[in-house]
Structure 1
Amino acid sequence: MAFLAQLGALTDELVDAIVGIPESDQETRNIFREAVLRLLRNHTYLRTNQFEVEDRLKGLEERFRVIGRDALADAFHKRLEVLEPYHNKFTPDVFHFLLELADQPAQNTQLTALDALIEPEEIPPPKLTWKDIAREDGWIQERDIWLFNRYALDSSSDEEAAEIKSVASVESLTSVSSVDDRARRTALDHAFKPQGGELLQQVREALLWRHVPMANGVQQPVKTTISTLQLLREVLFMLSGLPTAIFDADCNPSLVCQLQGISLEASNALLNSFAGCGRKLAPLRAFSKRKAQSPLLQVFESSLQKAIGLLDAKLATIQGRYIAIEKDVVVSLVGILNEVKPILTPLYALSDIIRQLQEEKNTHAFRYLELLYDAAGMAQLQAHRDIYHLLGGIFLDCFQVYLKPIRLWMEEGRLLPGDRTFFVSESSTKLPLPQIWKGQFNLLRSPEGNLHAPRFLKPAIHRIFTAGKSIVVLKHMKRHAATSKYRATDEPKMDFATVCPDHLEFAPFSELFSAAFDAWIRSKHHTAAATLQELLYNSYGLSESLDMLEQVYLMSDGSKADALAWAVFRHLDNFSNSWKDRFTLTEIAQEAFSASIDSYRIFAEIDPRTVVHSAIAGRSSVRINIPAIRLGCRLNWPVQVVVTEEAIQGYQTIFTFLLQVRRAIHVLKYPVKSFHPRGSLAATGPMGRYYMLRTKLLWFCDAILTYLTTLVLAPNTAKLRADLGEAGDVDDMIKAHANFVNRIIHEACHGAKLQPIRDCMLDMFDLAIKVADVQKLEMARLEKEEHEITRLSVISSPYTSPVKAKAKYAAATPKPKSRNDEDNGWDIESQGLEWNIKQITKANEGKPHHILLKEFHGDFERHLRFVAGGLRGVARASKEQAAVKWDLLAEMLEVGIKD
């Protein structure tokens, strides 16, 4: 059992590593797991034969020696011996794998490749000498720096502490320079000796602690005691970013200085505290001195310089307190640290932001805005009021610069050339006017799909993008007034005092900013969007265009739709090829809708991909030729911004389906004249079955048409008008119209899930054509029989002469149409009828009429049950809104199903 448990765990790891199926799909994971376990349990392969592997290795070494590569054989043997102590049970498998990968090792192996395995020896760096330091730092030109006071911590008298010694001379210092003596003068030479000599000597003695004393020449440093005032001066200089003697460039304190009067540990702790402050401020000062090219970074640097300036002013005030002494003051380093802490703490937060910016790679120029935004919100949550005010103020000051391209885009519809920080880009090619809204401008995204904009702006980016596009469209409409019309005079301010007032200090910073920025956008967005919507309705006839689309594609006017459909069907039934002439089809459509739509706005096309050139074959199915009919409406280009090409394709889909339904109804509603033989009754026999089947097919087609018109098209059309009236901008209008088209497509059973059900509906429409054709064939046969009976009865009558009988028969026989009849359709119709009779007879294999009607009735019942049951099942299994409509249609169709 332990082995099986281990095998199962290893199998799970193998499946996860190779297949990578998520844990949520547990069923698929179990299938793969069982398959792998079955293979592992039932495999018949043994492990690698270790003796065979050993023989192959020995043979390989012997082969090297046979062909004269002894050096390669020795190296191979040596490495096998080195590997011997590390053998385990998997070693033969590894050797076997390597042997299988080997490709002519005797010819392709080079011994020089082994040199790459040898680790190079580390070359020690050259030793540092005082001579090198003196040469590099220029000490050779400054002799006086070699003179310093030595203060021994264990000295018992002031005389020993004031003893001055010189360091051992460096070799280069003994050489005589050829430069003029003026170049080697010191500050002592230029001092005014009669009056300033003593003062200068006092200054020098006061600053002797800066020179690091050395014990025994240049050996070990000796601790130097300094006063609190001297350390205070160095600390203030270090915090101000100035060079000091105690702290180096990285703000690390010197180990040779000790504060007078306290222990060494306390002195070092105090020095390290101030050094930590300086190290935190160093990145801030270094970043503020950069010269960035981006305006966003320039304003950030300016804000940092202002914050650092406040610190420098505070430090200058402290220095002035100890220089121009007006009253007794106490020199306290701890007190100074507590005094500057309120200013240093917010700067530490800024320094953390700078450090994070420098650690991240390939950051955008607006990245620091996101960091400031997050840090300000966090400081507010942590009740750090000073940090919150500083970071919030800097964020909003920098955000003013980011608002400039947004303001230019929303007010004038223009983009700054070369601006890489804004999230809107313009296409390099000029697109047609109807595609300007969708394709001329785009939102920039990263390769990972993230929007190229600050995170805190994402909720408002859609409105910003829409407002700018509205201005662009208005310009192309020649309806864009002066820019000042769209520039609100009462634009809300975006400074810290306005966005974050004191009486709302407990409100989250993110909420305050969102509310302020939302008000700022409304001042820019509403005017342009409202103007564009008004122009679409009043000047470019959006409502009239939607009415035209409903009449043409959705057949909202039944009489006009019937006029169009019956004219097309008449050409199909007459086997005429003129229906696929786009000029004829355009004339038919314009004539059908001439009462309500201007003729020039309607045109027709034929899709050659779905056309069957045989008119005889095209009339036998609703799947042939009818989908090739494409009607088009000429819309104003601003209306085409809302009614996109994808939406027109959806309209065309509904139009084709409605035309197919009307085709089936037309075939059944206007059949060929029924011919009843003498003594036959239409209500009994085959004729009764035909009329019953015809009634059911008409009921089915009428049910589908009723469902489409009353439950799908009419409610959704009313909802579309309501959604368009509530839309805030053009994007909302486009979305509302796209949702409308998507709804009617799904509710009309044209979604991917209902493909089999829709095909079954088309089979029912084709069944109606078959029933009509079979009935036409039967009527032709009965009429022919009746004429033959009449002819025989007339001829065989004993009371009629042959001449009179022939005249009576000729009068009773219908006269065929002339070849010169209108459209010359007689030949086509005669040929088509004969071809249709042959095809029907061939397809039905000579079955009697009543047998065919019985089979058709069975097909109808089967198709009806499939459609109703399929709709009911899909409606129950689906969570879409259209499921309710599918369930209603299933309930309507279940009425015609027999128990």
Structure 2
Amino acid sequence: MAFLAQLGEQTDELVDAIVGIPESDQETRNIFREAVLRLLRNHTYLRTNQFEVEDRLKGLEERFRVIGRDALADAFHKRLEAYEPHHNKFTPDVFHFLLELADQPAQNTQLTALDEPEEVPPPKLTWRDIAREDGWIQERDIWLFNRHSPDSSDDEGAAEIKTVASVESLTSASSVDGRVQRTALDCAFKPQGEELLQRVKEALSWRQPPTVVEGGQPEKTTITSLPLLREVLFMLSGLPTTIFDADCNPSSGYQLQGISVEASDALLNSFSECGRKLAPLRAFSKRKAQSPLLQVFESSMQKALGSLDLQLASIQGRYVAIEEDVVVSLVGVLNEVRPILTPLYALSDIIRQLQEERNTHAFRYLELLYDAAGMAQLQAHRDTYHLLGGMFLDCFQIYLKPIRLWMEEGRLLPGDRTFFVSESSTKLPLPQIWKSQFNLLRSPEGNLHAPRFLKPAIHRIFTAGKSIVVLKHMKRHAATSKYRATEEPKMDFATVCPDNLEFAPFSELFSSAFDAWIQSKHHTAAATLQELLYTSYGLSQSLDMLEQVYLMSDGSKADAFASAIFRHLDNFSNSWKDRFTLTEIAQEAFSGSIDSYRIFAEIDPRTVVHSAIAGRSSVRVNLPAIRLGCRLNWPVQIVVTEEGIQGYQRIFTFLLQARRAISVLNHPTKNFHPRGSLAATGSMGRYYMLRTKLLWFCDAIVTYLTTLILAPNTARLRADLGDAGDVDDMIRAHADFVSRIIHESCQGAKLQPIRDCMLDIFDLAIKVADAQRIEMVRLEKEEHEITRLSVISSPYTSPVKAKAKFAATTPKPKKRNDEDDDSDKENQDLEWNIKQSAKVNEGKPHHVLLKGFHGDFERHLRFIAGGLRGVARASKEQAAVKWDLLAEMLEVGIKE
């Protein structure tokens, strides 16, 4: 089936490419298509598969690149392109011949044989090259070293010693090892060097450990504002300081000059609190994460800290390179850095929450960033909102990569534990790819393994990827290019959260932007797959076939199939239990509109009984064992699932049971009206009345099913499939259709007693027909015997004449051959079997039996109508309206 479907699909493409007939002229297209198919099927010899050769050539080039032979791959690709203008019908055969002769080309091929230069590694970069390119050699002043004599003084005026270092000496190991170590004294220029050094030492004298006074308490060291400001800015930058320890706690041995101890401690604690809030960020940014999601989060955090460091350096620059009078105010600096640090505090809270939680997923920080950005927007913290929102969208770009790969290529990254889609380790049949090949990952608690803000779009993402996988199996993945958007929507902060929409909630802005992004990917695969299901794989034709076979939409074909089965049952023949015979009956019945190879039949051994008498006398026996099947293309089986076929089978069995009852009541029987028997005449009237009621009931059930259940729901199914956005919607529409017809036709578990009562009435129809047939045979024999005795006992005729007269009134049997003898024997066996099936009724008069049957019918009918009324009133399902309507139809036949 897969080969025929692929052949038909490729034939359609071939006809469209060569002939170019418009789609409106479908008749001409079909003529060309059938002609091409006939030529292809009657082709007596095969040629090289050019597509396989092309795939092997591409695979060979890819293999060269995988093992690192890029130069060989480029040469191979270049020669393939050069040969392209000379391509002819024998080119695939030549390439196939060369591929067969190839012996490990990746290992044995040498580029020298192709006159191609081998790859030469780039030269190493040296300081000599840098000096030559940048012109350091010409600028000789930068190589001068100032050497001063250790015993020289300003008074002596010792001359400075200058030496010139060459580039070679700077780049050689010997020159580096032999170089004299420079000291602080070397850096201090004479004559102010010692004085400047002494001033620096005095300025840093506060760094000496404080002395301990009596009582064990250290003595407070007074410090001015400028050194303390330097310490504070270094601490906020994450650098080691003297006043603050590694945990940003201030030392108790220092006090700011000019203020009280309490005010100084309060100011230091304020700065210390700022440093403690930033400490988790700096510690987290130094981690080496393995997950790409955490790596990009660390990178974004480092950017935020880098921006902070630049701002702190700008503050330091005001006090280092003083260009105008500056007032050193620690309180002013604290007020200046607080707005800068506030967004980082929110980020620090996210880090703290991540560290407190256990066994968190790699995308957990995305959820925290998403929530924090929305909260910052609600609280009107603009800077915090911009920082967190920008970080969230930057990190989300990494999470989009597996989503993009899944929705565009239908592939999963190997070893990716952050994505919410997993693939089955076993290879499944093609019809089960959609349902079972891929699954959504869930936690042991049943929660979806995905960020919370993506849950509204999970279904569409999952469906788009599965659509691509199915299209690849159809060999039609390239067809999505004609639906693909030219450029996917951007997901950066400037696009998602523009300034003119600053009052819109962040969650709404993100959802709208992400929906547009998903739609650009989802519509491509969904539209292509739906089009292929209808055009190339005949979804509409398959649904028509299911309706004819299972729902009996074509009454004439359904009667042809059912009558053949009933004929075997009435003749007590077991040949219909053979699946080959049953398949032949089904194919012959539906041959006018359905290809015979697409229909097959099976027998369920669990519901088959070997007694032909039991199989004939009840619709519950043997009829449910008949299983009809339709061979569908595997893409169609994705929409029409196995569960849906089982629902079709339930409706088919119930329709077959109803037709069985109608067939038995309409079966031609020999009506015999004895003369002078009032009891027999009354029984015949009761029989015809009961038969009429039974036929009315069966026809009412069939009419209800066909006109009120099957026909409207079938039309609704076609409309729902046309409005479906993707294959999952189509599957859901078909599943809802099957569920509706099962519930509305009283085949559900809730209405099981009512369904059983309907089957009781169907069985009652068989009992009434059998009882009537036996009674007609009995009356005929009785009348025949009375006639014979009356003729013999007549006083006006002699015994010899009486026998002759009786013989003259008796029909003479025709001369029969062996076949007639077999037929009479078969009829006698049939009559005996009918009696055996109704032997429970022996000993009761016929009119008593009919009266009992009539009472059973009235009781069953009242139960069905009352039960439907009660269930319809107590239920809130949509099927309750149909149940109430059926009850109203059946209440017409209830005798008041």
Task: Sort the TM-score into its range (normalised by shorter chain).
Answer: 0.7 to 0.9
Look up the match of 1:830. Answer: 828
Q: Per the alignment, in what secondary structure is the counterpart of residue 262 of structure 2? A: helix
Alignment-mate amino acid for residue 812 of structure 1? P
Q: Does 1:349 align with 2:346?
A: yes
Alignment-mate amino acid for residue 355 of structure 2? Q
Look up the match of 2:563. Answer: 566
| Preserved CA contact (<8 Å) 1:424 1:442 | yes
| Preserved CA contact (<8 Å) 1:675 1:783 | yes
The Cα shift of 1:337 comes to 1.3
Alignment-mate amino acid for residue 877 of structure 2? E
Matches within 5 A, 1:470-869: 470-481=467-478, 487-679=484-676, 684-796=681-793, 798=797, 801=800, 805=804, 808=807, 812=811, 820=819, 827=825, 830-841=828-839, 843-869=840-866
Look up the match of 1:142. Answer: none
The percent of aligned pairs where both chains have the same amino acid is 82
1:238 aligns with one of 232, 235, 238: 235
The Cα shift of 1:191 comes to 7.8
Could you say if the C-alpha distance between residues 612 and 461 of structure 1 is closer, same or farther in structure 2, counting changes exceeding 3 Å? same
Which string of whole-angstrom CA distances, capped at 9 and with x for unpartnered residues, describes residues 14-67 of structure 1? xxxxxxxxxxxxxxxxxxxxxxxxxxxxxxxxxxxxxxxxxxxxxxxxxxxxxx
Which string of whole-angstrom CA distances, capped at 9 and with x for unpartnered residues, describes residues 232-266 of structure 1? 00000000000001110000010111000011111
Which string of whole-angstrom CA distances, capped at 9 and with x for unpartnered residues, describes residues 356-404 of structure 1? 0110000110000000001001111111111111100000000011111
| Preserved CA contact (<8 Å) 1:682 1:688 | no
Q: Per the alignment, in what secondary structure is the counterpart of residue 220 of structure 1? A: coil
Matches within 5 A, 1:21-100: none
Q: Which moved more, 1:699-708 or 1:215-224?
A: 215-224
Q: 1 CA distance for matches of 2:611 and 2:481?
A: 65
| Preserved CA contact (<8 Å) 2:562 2:656 | yes
The Cα shift of 1:197 comes to 3.3
Could you say if the C-alpha distance between residues 484 and 398 of structure 1 is closer, same or farther in structure 2, counting changes exceeding 3 Å? farther
Q: 1 CA distance for matches of 2:808 and 2:778?
A: 19
Q: 1 CA distance for matches of 2:832 and 2:824?
A: 12
Q: 2 CA distance for matches of 1:568 and 1:825?
A: 20
Look up the match of 1:404. Answer: 401
Which string of whole-angstrom CA distances, capped at 9 and with x for unpartnered residues, describes residues 413-460 of structure 1? 111111111111110011100000000011111111111100001101
The Cα shift of 1:219 comes to 4.0
The Cα shift of 1:644 comes to 0.2
The Cα shift of 1:671 comes to 4.3
Look up the match of 2:369. Answer: 372
1:458 aligns with one of 443, 455, 460: 455
Q: Per the alignment, in what secondary structure is the counterpart of residue 801 of structure 1? A: helix
Which string of whole-angstrom CA distances, capped at 9 and with x for unpartnered residues, describes residues 77-121 of structure 1? xxxxxxxxxxxxxxxxxxxxxxxxxxxxxxxxxxxxxxxxxxxxx
Alignment-mate amino acid for residue 848 of structure 2? I
| Preserved CA contact (<8 Å) 1:817 1:826 | no
Could you say if the C-alpha distance between residues 486 and 225 of structure 1 is closer, same or farther in structure 2, counting changes exceeding 3 Å? farther
2:415 aligns with one of 413, 418, 421: 418
The Cα shift of 1:486 comes to 6.1
Tell me the TM-score normalised to structure 2 length. Answer: 0.77
Which string of whole-angstrom CA distances, capped at 9 and with x for unpartnered residues, describes residues 582-606 of structure 1? 1111111111111111111111110
Look up the match of 1:884. Answer: 881
Alignment-mate amino acid for residue 404 of structure 1? K
Which string of whole-angstrom CA distances, capped at 9 and with x for unpartnered residues, describes residues 811-866 of structure 1? 526679876469x676555334314314423x125111011111111001100000
Q: 1 CA distance for matches of 2:807 and 2:730?
A: 74
Which string of whole-angstrom CA distances, capped at 9 and with x for unpartnered residues, describes residues 492-519 of structure 1? 0000000000000000101100110011
Could you say if the C-alpha distance between residues 211 and 186 of structure 1 is closer, same or farther in structure 2, counting changes exceeding 3 Å? farther
Look up the match of 2:40. Answer: none
Look up the match of 1:269. Answer: 266
Alpha-carbon RMSD: 2.3
Q: 2 CA distance for matches of 1:825 and 1:415?
A: 71
Could you say if the C-alpha distance between residues 613 and 322 of structure 1 is closer, same or farther in structure 2, counting changes exceeding 3 Å? same
Look up the match of 1:27. Answer: none
Which string of whole-angstrom CA distances, capped at 9 and with x for unpartnered residues, describes residues 682-701 of structure 1? 99401000000000000010
Q: Does 1:873 align with 2:870?
A: yes
Matches within 5 A, 1:319-358: 319-358=316-355
Could you say if the C-alpha distance between residues 334 and 216 of structure 1 is closer, same or farther in structure 2, counting changes exceeding 3 Å? closer
Q: 2 CA distance for matches of 1:442 and 1:430?
A: 14
Q: 2 CA distance for matches of 1:886 and 1:814?
A: 56
Look up the match of 1:58. Answer: none
Alignment-mate amino acid for residue 884 of structure 2? D
Could you say if the C-alpha distance between residues 395 and 819 of structure 1 is closer, same or farther in structure 2, counting changes exceeding 3 Å? farther
Q: Does 1:393 align with 2:414?
A: no
Look up the match of 2:217. Answer: 220
Q: 2 CA distance for matches of 1:714 and 1:681?
A: 48
The Cα shift of 1:751 comes to 1.1
Tell me the TM-score normalised to structure 1 length. Answer: 0.77
Q: Per the alignment, in what secondary structure is the counterpart of residue 838 of structure 2? A: helix
| Preserved CA contact (<8 Å) 2:792 2:806 | no
The Cα shift of 1:780 comes to 1.3
Alignment-mate amino acid for residue 704 of structure 1? I
Q: 2 CA distance for matches of 1:839 and 1:705?
A: 27
2:308 aligns with one of 308, 311, 314: 311
| Preserved CA contact (<8 Å) 1:867 1:890 | yes
Q: Per the alignment, in what secondary structure is the counterpart of residue 604 of structure 1? A: strand
| Preserved CA contact (<8 Å) 1:238 1:247 | yes
Q: Does 1:252 align with 2:268?
A: no
Q: 2 CA distance for matches of 1:376 and 1:814?
A: 103
Alignment-mate amino acid for residue 565 of structure 1? A
Q: 2 CA distance for matches of 1:336 and 1:578?
A: 101
Q: 2 CA distance for matches of 1:262 and 1:531?
A: 77
Q: Which moved more, 1:790-799 or 1:774-783?
A: 790-799
Could you say if the C-alpha distance between residues 553 and 821 of structure 1 is closer, same or farther in structure 2, counting changes exceeding 3 Å? farther
Q: Per the alignment, in what secondary structure is the counterpart of residue 477 of structure 2? A: coil
| Preserved CA contact (<8 Å) 2:222 2:254 | yes
The Cα shift of 1:673 comes to 1.6
Aligned residues: 713
| Preserved CA contact (<8 Å) 1:819 1:827 | no
| Preserved CA contact (<8 Å) 2:691 2:765 | yes
The Cα shift of 1:210 comes to 1.4
Could you say if the C-alpha distance between residues 509 and 188 of structure 1 is closer, same or farther in structure 2, counting changes exceeding 3 Å? closer
Q: 1 CA distance for matches of 2:779 and 2:637?
A: 57
Q: 2 CA distance for matches of 1:358 and 1:815?
A: 105
Look up the match of 1:16. Answer: none
| Preserved CA contact (<8 Å) 2:791 2:802 | no
The Cα shift of 1:215 comes to 2.3
| Preserved CA contact (<8 Å) 1:795 1:805 | no
Q: Per the alignment, in what secondary structure is the counterpart of residue 258 of structure 1? A: strand
